Every structure is written in structure tokens, then in C-alpha cells.
A and B are shown apart, each in its own frame.
Chain A
Amino acid sequence: DGGITQSPKYLFRKEGQNVTLSCEQNLNHDAMYWYRQDPGQGLRLIYYSQIVNDFQKGDIAEGYSVSREKKESFPLTVTSAQKNPTAFYLCASSWNRFMTEAFFGQGTRLTVV
């Protein structure tokens, strides 16, 4: 089945640690996105990539980093510079730049302990 797979589903991070969230898609989509979801707020864009080896900052990129070495994969690293990382992280992909048929993964819940 085609889709987007995020792992792990739950992740716990200690203060000062970097952690990496995985996102893999087999939809052959060029564009991939990372969003953060907090209670009472809409999804906020962290980073996006329209093509392999290229990515752009979104609205809240500080404290995060990404790579796009393969079309299928778009991992997100939450660095120790991110002061409030506890949130629900969602990865998405789309075949067009308007995201009219964007597919989302099932999310990763990151908690700082």
C-alpha cells in the first residue's frame, strides 16, 4: 500500500539531546513537509523540500534541521537548541506545490523528560 510512514510513534528526549524523527514515503511525491501541531494551534510548517538535495525553512525552523538525500526520505532532527520541543510532529507529501492532495503520516509524539 502506498503511503507515508513516520517512526517512532512516541519519542522521549532528555534535555540537551538531539533526536531524529523518520519519515518515509512510497508515493513517488517530489514534495515533502514537516509540521508541528500544538493544542489549540493550527499545523505550523517547520521545513519543506520540493526536490532531492534541496529544502527550505518554514515558519518555525529554528532548532530543527532536515536532510533530503533520497526522494523517499525526509528525516527531521530536533536539536537541543529547540527550547520547547514537546509536540506532535507530522510529515506530509504532495505531488504538487499547492498541496491539494497532501498525504500525512500518523505522526510522532515527542516528549521532553
Chain B
Amino acid sequence: QKEVEQDPGPLSVPEGAIVSLNCTYSNSAFQYFMWYRQYSRKGPELLMYTYSSGNKEDGRFTAQVDKSSKYISLFIRDSQPSDSATYLCAMSASNDMRFGAGTRLTVKP
């Protein structure tokens, strides 16, 4: 079993749809939970991070963490074609960061 599991997709949605991206993990020591967006042949860029359980909202993006279920989510509201990218979840304990394999998202106009 991988330490971080993420559905690779691909996921295709129409413009304006609500997108839900998810990851599960097995290591209860993880304390910080991140979401990165990666465009093709580019480096990942940080979207947001959350400490421990709870929700965090930034514009059209909402991150949720449920440590009891070892499950994290990223919701994208009013999705735009410019949101088309690969989304990577990541989680860290001290000096240890693990990434999911990434979900490829396409938002069609």
C-alpha cells in the first residue's frame, strides 16, 4: 500500500462545474497537508496548505482535512479552463514530505 493514494484520473468537467479532488494516507504523523497545481512540463506551484483537521478557503478553492479518516480533499468552485492541470496532494511531518501521484484535470469551455 502506498503511503499516499490519489486517484490519477483523468477527470474532465465542463466549465463552471464543482471539482472534487481527494487523497488518502496511512501515516498518522503527518501534520501539514498541501495541494499543488502543476502545468505540463512545469514545476508544481503551491495552492494552499492546512494544518491538522479542518477547512481552509482561498477564493474558489477549499481544502478539507479529516485526520480521523486520513482523508483530504480539494474543492474547486466555478471551474475555469485555466484550472486544467495536474493537482498533487502532499503531506508532511518534520523533514518528511510525501506526494500523491497527481490527478489530471481538464475543464472544457
- State the A residues within 8 Å of B (CB): 4, 6, 35, 40-43, 45, 48, 50, 56, 88, 90, 92, 97-107, 109
A105 to B43, CA, bound (A): 6
Q: Report yes or no: B101 in contact with A101, Cβ–Cβ below 8 A.
A: no
Q: Report yes or no: A40 in contact with B101, Cβ–Cβ below 8 A.
A: yes
Q: Which B36-63 residues have a C-beta within 8 angstroms of A? A: 36, 41-46, 49, 51
Residues of A within 8 A of B8 (CB): 40
Q: Report yes or no: B92 in contact with A98, Cβ–Cβ below 8 A.
A: yes
Residues of B within 8 A of A107 (CB): 41-43
A101 to B100, CA, bound (A): 17
Q: Report yes or no: B43 in contact with A104, Cβ–Cβ below 8 A.
A: yes
User: Knowing that A98-B94, A99-B97 are A-B contacts, what are 9 other residue pairs whose CB atoms are under 8 Å apart, sorted by A's residue number?
Assistant: A6-B43, A42-B99, A42-B100, A43-B99, A88-B41, A100-B51, A100-B92, A102-B46, A109-B41
A8 to chain B, nearest CB (A): 13
B99 to chain A, nearest CB (A): 4
A107 to B86, CA, bound (A): 15
